[in-house]
Structure formats: C-alpha cells, structure tokens
Amino acid sequence: MRRWTTGLLAALLLVLAGWVPASPASACSCAAGTTVDALASADAVFSGRLVSREEDDGTALHVFAVDTVYVGEVSARQGVVSAASGASCGLELSGAGPFLVFATRQGDRLTADLCGGTGPWTAPAAAEVQMLTGASPPEPGEAGTELSAGLPDAAVQGAVAVLLVGAFVGGRLLRRRAAG
C-alpha cells in the first residue's frame, strides 16, 4: 500500500510541477501531387486573400477574403484551420496572396494542410481548376473565423491534479479505516 501512495504522490508532484511528457515528434512529408489529386480530396476549393492568421496551442486559423469558389460552400470571409507549424504540415503562407486554397471539411470547419495543394494563386493552376469545376461567387457572410478554444493545458493539468489528490486522500482514508 505504501508503494501505491508513494507513486501517486510522485505523479501528483509531477503534474503540479507542470511536467507533461512530450508527444513524439513528427515531420511533415508530402508526396508530389497534381491539381487533379488535390481537387479529388478537397471538399472546398477557393481563391482569396489572407486577411489574418491567429495561433493558439499549436493550431492556426487563417481567415481569407474569398474571391472565387470552385468547389463546395465557402463564405465571403472564410476561416481555414491548420497546424501552426509547417513541420506539422501546417500551411506556410506568406504575404496577403492571393492564394488557391484546397480544404477539407471536418464538422463545421474547413481544414487544410501543407500537402493538400494550397499555395500561391497562379493563373495556370486557377485556369485548370476552373476548367475542371467551374466558378461561382462566395456565399455572403463569414464562416469559421473564430479559433474555438478547447480546454487550456493548465485547466487539464488542474483537473488531473484534483483527481490525483482525491485518489490519494481516498486511499489514505481507506488505509486508516482498514487499520482501525
């Protein structure tokens, strides 16, 4: 019983100290694809200018002023979520653009990654996309322009600490009851 409580106390101290094991590192590796490949896997394709980029906890929200929609339902002001870092396959966009965006829908959000075809708008790529899909104006309004925050790491660590303290105290009470 003493080993169990000692181990639990050590775990509690590690959590309270802010030590959390890092997840394994991964590098982004993309196989070269064609515009047709990118179109086949995209739920939304559009051209637009990047108006803002916001990061939170390893996630980036890119908000675009959309010019032309080639595939799917896209708003005039459209947010697209990706990993914050190119090393994690996040979008690496520099400048305002314009960009040609290939995104997939996950729930009510559009997501894109470094390997999905998104990049600077070029006349040949846009012409190829338009020839294969057609073009239309975006829907009025905005969609996905706020980065929804999950529980912050501190809140998760606090909850784990409370659970560990509760288990430790409960174990001590059971030990006293069994001894008495």
Number of domains in the chain: 1
98 upstream amide cis, omega within 30 of 0 = yes
- Residue 99 within a domain: yes
- Mean pLDDT of the region 31-49: 89
Nearest C-alpha neighbor of 80 from the set 95, 96, 68, 65: 65
- Residue 123 within a domain: yes
- Give the helix ranges, DSSP H, for 48-152: 123-133
As a dihedral over the C-alpha atoms of residue 81, residue 83, residue 84, residue 86, rounded to 10 degrees, the angle is -120
Q: For residue 53, what is the domain's CATH number?
A: 2.40.50.120
Show the domain range for 128.
35-139
Contact 109, 144 (CB under 8 A): yes
Instruction: Record the pTM.
Output: 0.68
- Residue 98 within a domain: yes
At residue 145, what is the residue type?
T
- Residue 81 within a domain: yes
- Residue 2 within a domain: no
As a dihedral over the C-alpha atoms of residue 11, residue 160, residue 108, residue 64, rounded to 10 degrees, the angle is -70
Contact 149, 56 (CB under 8 A): yes
- Assess whether pLDDT exceeds 80 at residue 167: no
pLDDT tens digits, one per residue of 99-120: 999 999 999 899 999 899 999 9
- Residue 159 within a domain: no
pLDDT tens digits, one per residue of 54-82: 999 899 999 999 999 999 999 999 999 99
pLDDT score recorded for residue 25: 46
Contact 121, 99 (CB under 8 A): yes
**Coil vs helix vs strand at 97:** coil
Give the percent of the chain with pLDDT over 90.
48
